[in-house]
A = this chain, B = another copy of it.
Amino acid sequence: MIANSSPDVIVIGGGIIGSSIAVRLAQAGARVSIFDRGEPGREASSAAAGMIAPQAEGPKPEAFAELCGASYSLYPEFVAEMEDLSGIAAGYHRAGSLLLALDDAQAQELDETEAETRRRGLAVERLDADAVRRCVPGLGEGIRRGLLLPGDHWVDNERLTEGVLEAARRLGVTIHANATVCSLSARNHRIESIKTDTAAFRAAEFVLAAGCWSGVVAASAGLEVPTVPCRGQMLEFEAPSQLSMVVRAGDHYLVPRAGGRILVGTTADYVGFEKAVTAEGLASILSGALRLAPFLGKLRFRRAWAGLRPDTADHLPILGRARLENVTLATGHFRNGILLAPFTARLMADLVAGGTIPPELEAFRPERFALGAKAGGT
């Protein structure tokens, strides 16, 4: 029995995934509460670079490409809706991205991305080294060639996440900040309540969207959700003139931000929940980025930070019903949480309301890990 004051749905995790789901549930008439272990939205959702680039992650299973493509298609409308609901501008730009090859391996990746992008009927333009330099001045001498992806977008993920949270608030969602969920109490194959360090809260349905902390939260109810933190480090510089598009080569990228800023990333460190910016992280990002874009050299450093991406054993998200009846999992989005938020929110809200996952998205079912696969990085 649920007390009158209890919400219909508790969403654990106030990042862009959890808060987007909360928005959709609230719009469908549910009373929703979000619980976040810290300041909602201040973990991976804020730490990311905000590239909306469905083809940028290299070859993946077809189902994942479809998931990315579906969420990408929803993006313009999703951003506009969240901006309308919240009044917070999300810094959404559709000026494309420039993928670069500085060595053989990157040249081959470029070919694969080009073929894949064409196969999907998306716009793509091959550029030689001179054309690359005309496209974005100040790039490095070592660039062999590039690929212009005019359909790629980027968004200020900090502002968008803020906007989604504000939209949730305005739709009546209750947000509990600094409320770490310490345990889930299960009975008769259902979660009855969650416990924070100060109180217990009941609900009819639970959504677990706690990023890399999902596994820890789920374990208290005997659920195995193999999320692994993958640290990414980032730097921000002041740029006197605006960078016109995203520039990327391998793990090294430059992303424009409003106010004459440029984000520069990143690393992929498997070091547990240690959210430190390190000397070797900074050194690796800087050496790669300076090779890619020597013009960065003179730019003023503003800040550095790190975030913990929620990775999984197969680097694919975990989307679907858990083995407990009233628990939905929406986690493990790894490098693609910002991109995947709109479609994840739609799918999960359907699920909570009694719908099913479309068969082509079976690849992301939580049960796939029950076969003995182990979570872990490379």
Contact = CB atoms under 8 A, between A and B. Distances in A.
Interface residues of A, number: 22
User: This chain: how many copies in the complex?
Assistant: 2
B278 A300 contact: yes
Nearest to A300: B276
A300 B296 CA distance: 23
Contacts of A237: 279
A357 to B, nearest CB: 41
Contacts of A197: none
A289 interface: yes
Nearest to A238: B276
Given A301-B304, A304-B301, A286 B282 contact: yes
B289 A286 contact: no
B283 A279 contact: no
A348 to B, nearest CB: 35
A127 interface: no
A132 to B, nearest CB: 20
Nearest to A293: B279
A226 to B, nearest CB: 25
A279 B289 contact: yes
A282 B300 CA distance: 10
A298 B280 contact: yes
Interface of A: 235, 237, 264, 276-283, 286-287, 289-290, 296-301, 304
27 contacts: A235-B279, A237-B279, A264-B279, A276-B300, A276-B301, A277-B300, A277-B301, A278-B298, A278-B299, A278-B301, A279-B286, A279-B289, A279-B296, A279-B297, A279-B299, A280-B290, A280-B296, A280-B297, A281-B301, A282-B282, A282-B286, A282-B301, A283-B283, A283-B290, A283-B297, A287-B287, A301-B304
